[in-house]
Structure 1
């Protein structure tokens, strides 16, 4: 494919003796999966010998030239060093006793000069040697670093057939000013790079976490990677890069995706005008109702402006890395308030219409048939009231569900679960849903009951509520501009649809027996006869609120777990 994007990624870990490393193969697998998702045609090598590397590089260079590649990317994770101001990466069959040292490694500069793509990218997580590697290569003059599994070669080569010198770390490289070349190093010239205590090196971990961010310029990407690496290594490792790029480069260009994120807020704004417009057509509207109606689009407008500001700030490069493992209960609560509040409000705008319109039509039909003597309220007033109630319920639902997915009670205090399992997420959303139902049902039932109106029974309440709950998570996922991408947007939409099915099934399982046993009819009758009794009202509201909340929590839990599983990215 002419003009395509090609990558050669190499991870070498199985060095002999004490040179052996742990993470490079994990690094290269993560990079391979990430680049494939970004539409690169990727060649992956694990534990490559000198012969393997040379043959693959020759084939890679030829393909870039033959296919007139738009982007060519070379990535290496493993041992690397510099000799006489030249950078080399080390194959797994390195043998220091087989002749001149440089002949047993792969020089990086000639590779860069041969890559003929429109944009050439070289990513070197390759300045890693542990103390055992120093002994294997025969060097001296290195200082140890706390917790460093991978240190760089330094000092003078001894017991070799040449008198070359190795220096700590990789050196800065020549960049042809007439070509679009970008070179990123895991550490500054002469610096040390860590292999990391996790599943990947700090450099590759940060790169994989940010490389697929939509519409993130390469310059901003490297700033983020540098911040994360500095944080992970406690300021002991600083990344470095050289560039001769003349135009911005994006691994994942997609301005329309960012625009789509704000389209949801714009759509919410348009929906929030419906109650206001209907209310204006009502002849006996009060100033309180009018004020409440105008508040809905104002809140929607604030959300839209917040989204636009987030995109603008993001594209300017404003970013501060926060370690997920250092998240506190307080910071998680603030995040829940933001995400749950925004997602809940946007979900409520659609849910309100799905509840109010069928309820209004059923009420009007019952009145015309004479089965109720209560004259129907205007659609404008009814839609406003249900939209306001839905916003309050949905915001609390979103906040409670997100917060409880990661919070547990232990040792007499609230503690945060750093990486919640699917079971933990589902349990948290179920608890959040039931808590929401228990808190809001008595209040709403008291309000609507005092207005002498027909009960909002489950057949009217559940369809719109389930749709609203699925929209809550879709909004939360896709209003997160740091993580928004096409795959995540698609998987969240599929997850929302699957969650709708889960909600329908849960509604049948929960309310089917309640209807079959006559419990719903009994509760409705008691509320109608003894609504003035606070005990009856609260217990009746709980009878509605708890199962409805349980169903909505199941919808949100299903949507979160499916989105995380299908997109391989956390939602919370």
Structure 2
């Protein structure tokens, strides 16, 4: 007769095997974040919230053990160097998060982040005077991180100059560029403050932009998958804005249980403790 201890240990091993997938979420890994906020623009409308947004997002991420690089009001050359330095710091299996608050725009199916010194320009000039967001996402992901989380609170209204119209006239700006274009990259999760082609509500008189307000509320939730966190953020924004602002989330993730704040629960220490429960399942 096979001793009961054998079945006890067998049940324990099977129990541990079922927890293997969950344990990968708690595996020690570096967590890196680049947080940029730009509100004091030289040539376009200044924004009230990005400085607070970036400062508080940086503090929130540090509190859950992210190594954070935070920068405010960067000019284009400065922003390019900061992004390159961050990209080069990434190692395989790092958890990577990029956050930007400021002006953003899409032109010809490309999204651009607007640095402090970007002049009033037309769409054709953006590649030389702004920062291509898809290029940042691609380069971050190409360093083989565990996951890339890409958060853009930058769907504010930003007018491009229309060179075919008298700059003094009422139609001097081109509104075709309102909002952002959907972005995708394998192994990444992308979230915008609002749906593609729409604009976010500027939180005048508020400490934070609406999207960032709910990110700050939920992002430190322990043992919560980032997809569920962003679902909670989306729900909060929709309810407070009465559906006038609807965040956009696009994911191309193969991994499960991606926790920004993973706290390992106590593991059972005695194999026999769960034996009877799982033996019933084994031999039913």
- Give TM-score scaled by structure 2 length: 0.74
Question: What is aligned with 1:256?
Answer: 265
Q: Following TM superposition, by how much is the alpha carbon of 1:3 offset from its aligned partner in structure 2, in angstroms?
A: 4.0
- What is the aligned counterpart of 1:120 among 148, 156, 165? 148
Question: What is aligned with 1:94?
Answer: 118
Q: Following TM superposition, by how much is the alpha carbon of 1:246 offset from its aligned partner in structure 2, in angstroms?
A: 1.3
1:84 aligns with 2:92: no
Question: What is aligned with 1:215?
Answer: 223
Q: Following TM superposition, by how much is the alpha carbon of 1:7 offset from its aligned partner in structure 2, in angstroms?
A: 0.8
- What is the aligned counterpart of 1:28 among 40, 49, 54? 54
Q: Following TM superposition, by how much is the alpha carbon of 1:101 offset from its aligned partner in structure 2, in angstroms?
A: 2.7
Q: Equivalent residue of 1:19, what SS?
A: coil
Structure 1 stretches lacking a partner, 5+ long: 141-154, 159-164, 260-572
Question: What is aligned with 2:84?
Answer: 58
Residue by residue, what CA displacement relative to the aligned partner does 1:248-290 show, whole Å, maximum 9, x if unpaired?
3111112529x9xxxxxxxxxxxxxxxxxxxxxxxxxxxxxxx
- What is the aligned counterpart of 1:170 among 171, 174, 180? 180
1:4 aligns with 2:8: no
- What is the aligned counterpart of 1:138 among 146, 161, 182? 161
Q: Equivalent residue of 2:180, what SS?
A: coil
CA RMSD of aligned residues (A): 2.5
Q: In structure 1, what is the Cα distance between the partners aligned to 2:190 and 2:259?
A: 15
Q: In structure 1, what is the Cα distance between the partners aligned to 2:253 and 2:104?
A: 25
Quickly say closer, same or farther: Cα 1:219–1:156, change in 2 above 3 A: farther
Question: What is aligned with 1:189?
Answer: 196
Q: In structure 2, what is the Cα distance between the partners aligned to 1:224 and 1:202?
A: 13
Quickly say closer, same or farther: Cα 1:86–1:195, change in 2 above 3 A: same
Q: In structure 2, what is the Cα distance between the partners aligned to 1:122 and 1:185?
A: 9
Question: What is aligned with 1:13?
Answer: 39
Q: Following TM superposition, by how much is the alpha carbon of 1:61 offset from its aligned partner in structure 2, in angstroms?
A: 0.5
Question: What is aligned with 2:23?
Answer: none
Could you say which structure has the greater relative contact order, defined with CA pairs below 8 angstroms and 6 or more residues apart?
A: 2
Aligned 8 A contact 2:43 2:119 in 1: no
Q: In structure 2, what is the Cα distance between the partners aligned to 1:185 and 1:18?
A: 21
Q: In structure 1, what is the Cα distance between the partners aligned to 2:125 and 2:114?
A: 14
Q: Following TM superposition, by how much is the alpha carbon of 1:17 offset from its aligned partner in structure 2, in angstroms?
A: 5.2
1:46 aligns with 2:72: yes
More strand by proportion, 1 or 2?
2
Q: Equivalent residue of 2:261, what SS?
A: coil
Q: Following TM superposition, by how much is the alpha carbon of 1:138 offset from its aligned partner in structure 2, in angstroms?
A: 2.3
Q: Following TM superposition, by how much is the alpha carbon of 1:227 offset from its aligned partner in structure 2, in angstroms?
A: 1.0
Q: Following TM superposition, by how much is the alpha carbon of 1:112 offset from its aligned partner in structure 2, in angstroms?
A: 1.1
More helix by proportion, 1 or 2?
1
Aligned 8 A contact 2:162 2:172 in 1: yes
Q: Equivalent residue of 1:230, what SS?
A: helix
